[in-house]
Amino acid sequence: MTGLWGNARKATATRRHWAGRFTRALRTLLPALALAAVPALGHAADAPAEIKVGYVDLVNAQILAKVLGLTEKSVGIPIRWIKFGSGGDLNRAVAAGQIDFGGVGNPPATIGITQGLAYQGIFVLDVLGPVESLVARADIKSIKDLKGRTIATPFGTTSHYELIAALAGAGLNPADAKILDMNPPDAFAAWTRKDIDAAYLWDPVLAKMQASGGRILVDSGTMAKRGFPTWDVGVVMKDFAAKYPAIVVKYLKAECQAIDYWNKNPKQAAALIAKELNLDEKETALEMSGTYMIPCDQQLTADYLGTPAHKGKFADTLIATAKFLRSQNRLPVVKDDKVYADFINPSYLQTAVKP
C-alpha cells in the first residue's frame, strides 16, 4: 500500500508541476493574444463612417456602379454620392476637402496637379469621342467663323481645353471670341435665349442643341486624332489612400465590374443610365457609342496608365496638356514632367485586377 500511495503522491506532484507550468504559460500567452487582436479591432474602428464620392452627370460606367449598388457592396461602407456640374467644380471640392473619390478630365486634372491638389489618378473613367463636341448656329460654317462670336463652355474642363485647341487650330486666339464660363444646363438656357452662338460641351445638352438647329463643327474624337485626346480619370485623395489602401482596391473592383457591365450589357446599361439621368434610352445609347470604357486590365498597358514602374501614354498626355495650357496662358507655370507622371498611380488597380 505504501508503494501505491507513494506513486500516487509522485503523480499528483507531477500533475501540479505541469499545471503550474500551463498556468504560467497561459498567463503569458493571454496578454499576447489580446495584443495581437488590437490591430484588427483598431482597423475596423478606423474605417470611415461613410465614403464621399464626387461625380459629374456623365454617361459612363460610374453611373452604373452607383445605380447597381456595386460600390457599397464592394467596400461594405455607406456611400454618399455628391454631384458636381464639371471637373472644375470637383477640383474646388477637392481643395475644400469635401470628397474622398472623384473623377476629372485630363485638363482639370492637369490644372489641379499644377495647383498642388493632393489627389492621384487611379483608373480611367472613360475616353471621350463624339460625346463632346463644338456645336454652333446653323449660319456658322467653320471654326474660323467663330471670330467675334459668343461661345459657352465650362471652364477648366475637357470641353474648355478642346475649344481652345480647336480655335488655335483655326488660327484664332481665345481673345478673338467672347468665351463664357457656363455649365451645360446654363449654356442650353443661354442658347434658347440666343445669348450665345456656339458651345463646346457634352451630351445630353449637346444633343438638345443639335435638335434645336445646332450644327457640329468638330468633336473630341476628331480632336484626339489631331493630337488632343481627352479622357476622364478616377481620383482618390492621397491622405485617404494612405490611410485606407484596402478600401481603395475594393472601390476599384466595383468600378471594374461596372465597366465590364457596360461593355457586355449595352442595352441594359443604357436603360439603367437613362433612368438615373432622366434621359431617353435611344439618346443614351447614342451617347454611349461616343464614350469608350476601357477594361481595367487594358488600362495597365502602355496605351493608358501603364504600370507603377513604367507609366503609360496618359502620363505623357498630362504633360502635353500642361504645356499647351501654359502656351495659351491658362496655366501660370508648368511643373516638372515627373510631377504630372507621379499623379498617375496604377498600383491600386494592379492589385484590384488580380484574381
- Name the pLDDT band for 355 (thresholds 50, 70, 90): confident
Distance CA 167, CA 152 (A): 13
What does the pLDDT read at residue 6? 38
pLDDT tens digits, one per residue of 292-309: 999 999 999 999 999 999
Is the same domain home to 106 and 255? yes
Predicted model pTM: 0.81
CATH code of residue 143: 3.40.190.10
Residue 3 lies in a domain: no
Of 210, 225, 240, the domain-final residue? 225
For residue 59, which of 257, 271, 260 has the smallest C-alpha distance? 271
- Name the pLDDT band for 222 (thresholds 50, 70, 90): very high
For residue 121, which of 233, 261, 3 has the smallest C-alpha distance? 233
What does the pLDDT read at residue 10? 37
What does the pLDDT read at residue 156? 85
For residue 202, which of 153, 240, 167 has the smallest C-alpha distance? 153
Give every CB contact of residue 274 below 8 A, 6+ residues apart in sequence. 280, 281, 283, 284
What's the whole-number average pLDDT of the chain?
Answer: 88
pLDDT tens digits, one per residue of 314-325: 999 999 999 999
What does the pLDDT read at residue 46? 79
Classify 353 as helix, strand or coil.
coil
Residue 154 lies in a domain: yes
The number of folded domains in the chain is 2
Distance CA 194, CA 59 (A): 27
Angle at 232 between CA 247 and CA 181, to 5 degrees: 125
pLDDT tens digits, one per residue of 283-292: 899 899 999 9
Is the same domain home to 212 and 240? no
Residue with cell 457640329: 216
Residue 289 lies in a domain: yes
Is the same domain home to 76 and 202? no
Average pLDDT of the segment spanning 89-98: 96
Of 192, 225, 258, the domain-final residue? 225
Average pLDDT of the segment spanning 108-113: 96
Distance CA 16, CA 18 (A): 6
Residue 7 lies in a domain: no
Instruction: Copy the grid coordinates of residue 327.
Output: 502656351
What does the pLDDT read at residue 75? 97
Residue 34: CB atoms within 10 A of its CB come to 9
Residue type, 350: Q
State the alpha helices, DSSP H only, in 175-312.
184-192, 205-211, 220-225, 238-243, 245-264, 266-277, 281-289, 296-299
Is the same domain home to 266 and 344? yes
For residue 61, give its domain range.
52-128+231-352
Instruction: Copy the grid coordinates of residue 214.
Output: 445646332
pLDDT tens digits, one per residue of 9-52: 333 343 344 334 433 433 433 333 333 332 332 343 378 999 99
Phi, psi at residue 234, to the nearest 5°?
Answer: -80, 135
CB 279 within 8 A of CB 204: yes
Is the same domain home to 320 and 257? yes
Is the same domain home to 83 and 155? no
Is the same domain home to 248 and 109? yes
Is the same domain home to 200 and 240? no
- Name the pLDDT band for 204 (thresholds 50, 70, 90): confident
Angle at 291 between CA 183 and CA 53, to 5 degrees: 60
CB 259 within 8 A of CB 293: yes
Residue 292: CB atoms within 10 A of its CB come to 17
pLDDT tens digits, one per residue of 146-202: 999 999 999 989 999 999 999 999 999 999 999 999 999 999 999 999 999 999 999
Is the same domain home to 312 and 187? no
Is the same domain home to 247 and 215? no
Is the same domain home to 106 and 144? no
What does the pLDDT read at residue 14? 39
Average pLDDT of the segment spanning 215-236: 95
* Percent of all residues in the chain with a pLDDT value above 90, rounded to a whole number: 82
For residue 109, which of 349, 335, 348 has the smallest C-alpha distance? 335
DSSP 77: S
Of 197, 225, 253, the domain-final residue? 225
- Name the pLDDT band for 3 (thresholds 50, 70, 90): very low
Is the same domain home to 343 and 260? yes
For residue 310, pLDDT over 60 is answered with yes
